[in-house]
Amino acid sequence: MPIEERRALQGKRLQKIVSYVYHNVPFYRNKMQQMDIQPSDIRSVDDIKYLPFTTKQDLRDNYPFGLQAAPQSEIIRVHASSGTTGNPTIVGYTRKDIEIWSECMARCLTSYGVTRDDIFSVAYGYGLFTGGLGVHYGVENLGATVIPASTGNTEKHIRLIRDLGITGIACTPSYALHLAEVMEKMGIDIKDLKLRFGAFGAEPWTEKMRAEIQDKLGIKAYNLYGLSEIMGPCVSYECICQRGSHINEDHYYPELIDPNTLKSVREGETGELVFTTLTKEGMPLLRYRTRDLTTLHSGLCDCGRTSIKMGKIMGRSDDMLIIRGINVFPSQVESVLLSIPECAPHYRLIVDRIDNLDTLTVQVELRPECFGQFDTIEPINDLEKKVSSKLKSVLSIIAKTQVKAPGTIERSQGKSCFVEDRRNSLTD
């Protein structure tokens, strides 16, 4: 859709949703009244700046259904956020919400050529988490065959991938790597598989990780982004160009702000993503602060789409670690580790406080193919020094490195937990 036409559509939808929440959600009516704003003050999408923000804390304060706009009789499904950063938040969906979600999800898959002839396996968790059912309905909407594999039972899943000729898979990027490892152990050659594409998301991942997955599984790996508060997977998706993720902005209107001043940042600069749901009935949200940090890029994409694109998620404003005053995102550590050929993409960061000083320990696995060269302690010590010195030169952080044997760092089936912050459990 041409940009001007879409902006007009967004403006119309925004007016409608603002009036809807004003009349159906006391939380928003009170906020708007306090700010002296009437629904009729919103005339175009530019007026979004007059509207109040919504935070995760607002959702928690109104737990479970306080921000729901539709009556319970219209709600046909409930999901919850995975609770990575605290208590889960509950989201109710109407039938129309589920239809729009499925359509947006089908758009994601279509953008890299998934068709009715494909067999798509969904290896996100099914349940309250939006990943499983969200992608499932998208595959069905498109008319491809869906295999509801869910997580767990990796070997059985791999046999299905081979025997059924599965062509696409959706899961977390870390689980994709785990699949590749197990496949290798089972002696399955990717040449005997029909896998062609993967939709990976629910946790941050890097370009290096993408290269690794593409290489090991012999597929194209595409980013898929979403969050339960706004809908679930489908908020944005990569196209065949693999350069940024197109936002389904006719339904989820994006803004990028400085998390401290709350003012919008210039295009290309990093900021916190904020979404307004333009068509949602169950739990519509105005200017929801995702705490996800990224960049936005407008302009026509080589694939022909006009929708705005977001960069990779650099991290969440609340998973940023502050170690001796230096801001560190786990994804930055990952990039450094993966630039060292002997390091596998399996790692864990342990933050502690010893004698009132923050300490960071980085545990990283050796690549199995390098294992043979590390039969004495010396080369391991050398590699540990090399990793620590690279972390210091690139990120200016002082970290102790522990190189671990392949396969010894726990794998996750859902969202990975790369960080153990022991400072939170200190009692003194």
Indicate whether 306 belongs to the interface with ligand ADP (CB under 6 A).
Answer: no
- Looking from the CA of 72 toward its CB, the CA atoms found within 13 Å total 3
Nearer to ligand ADP, 56 or 162 (CB): 56
CB 200 within 8 A of CB 213: yes
Given candidates 84, 264, 306, 317, which one binds ligand ADP under the rule CB under 6 A? 84
In angstroms, how far is CA 417 from the centroid of its own chain? 13
Write down the least CB distance from residue 199 to ligand ADP, Å: 9
Q: Is 147 helix (H, G, I), strand (E, B) or coil?
A: strand
Q: Residue 393 contacts by C-beta under 8 Å, 6 or more apart in sequence? A: none
82 binds ligand ADP (CB under 6 A): yes
H and E: helices and strands count for the chain: 10, 21
Binding positions for ligand ADP, 245-304, rule CB under 6 A: 290, 292
Q: Give residue 94's identity as a one-letter amino acid code.
A: T
Nearest distance from residue 238's CB to ligand ADP, in Å? Answer: 9
Select the residue interacting with ligand ADP from 202, 293, 338, 380 (CB under 6 A).
Answer: 202
As a dihedral over the C-alpha atoms of residue 294, residue 296, residue 301, residue 306, rounded to 10 degrees, the angle is 130
303 binds Zn ion (CB under 5 A): yes
Look at residue 303 and give the partner it binds from Zn ion, ligand ADP, none, a contact being a CB closer than 5 to 8 Å depending on partner kind: Zn ion
E runs forming strands in 166-316:
168-171, 197-201, 220-227, 232-238, 245-247, 252-257, 271-277, 288-294, 296-297, 309-310, 315-316
Beta bridge partners of 54: 288
Contact 306, 300 (CB under 8 A): yes
DSSP for residue 96: H
Stretch touching Zn ion by CB under 5 A, among 34-42, 93-101, 143-151, 297-305: 297-305
| Binding test (CB under 5 A) with Zn ion, winner from 6, 96, 305, 386 | 305
d(CA 138, CA 366): 38
Q: Is there binding between residue 332 and ligand ADP (CB under 6 A)?
A: no
Ranges within 214-233 binding ligand ADP (CB under 6 A): 223-228
Site for ligand ADP in 125-184 (CB under 6 A): 129
Site membership for ligand ADP, residue 316 (CB under 6 A) = yes
Q: Return the number of the residue (11 or 226) whose C-beta is nearest ligand ADP.
A: 226
Assess 201 for contact with ligand ADP (CB under 6 A): yes
- List alpha helices for 259-395, DSSP H: 330-338, 377-395
Q: Does 203 bind ligand ADP (CB under 6 A)?
A: yes
Considering the complex, what minimum distance in angstroms separates the CB of residue 247 from Zn ion? Answer: 11
What Cα–Cα distance (Å) separates residue 309 from each residue in 110, 241, 320, 387? 17, 12, 23, 34
- Cβ-based nearer residue to ligand ADP, 290 or 332: 290
Return the residue of 239, 343, 362, 380 that touches Zn ion, per CB under 5 A: 239
Check: CB of residue 230 under 8 Å from CB of residue 252. Answer: yes
Which of 332, 327, 330 shows the shortest CA–CA distance to 348? 330
Among 42-50, 77-85, 295-303, 399-407, the segment contacting Zn ion (CB under 5 A): 295-303
Residue 11 or residue 132: which is nearer to ligand ADP going by CB? 132
Beta bridge partners of 153: none
Nearest to 401 by CA among 385, 416, 379, 417: 385
> Does 83 sit near ligand ADP (CB under 6 A)?
yes
With CB under 6 A as the contact rule, the residue among 15, 54, 62, 81 that binds ligand ADP is 81
334: contact with ligand ADP by CB under 6 A:
no
Alpha helices for 186-289 (secondary structure H)? 207-217
Give me the residue whose beta carbon is nearest to ligand ADP.
201
Which residue type does 193 have? Answer: L
Q: How far is the CB of 228 from ligand ADP (least distance, A)?
A: 4
* Residues 90-129: x where in contact with ligand ADP by CB under 6 A, - otherwise, as a string: ---------------------------------------x
Give the binding site for Zn ion (CB under 5 A): 239, 241, 301, 303, 305
Give the binding site for ligand ADP (CB under 6 A): 81-85, 129, 201-204, 223-228, 290, 292, 313, 316
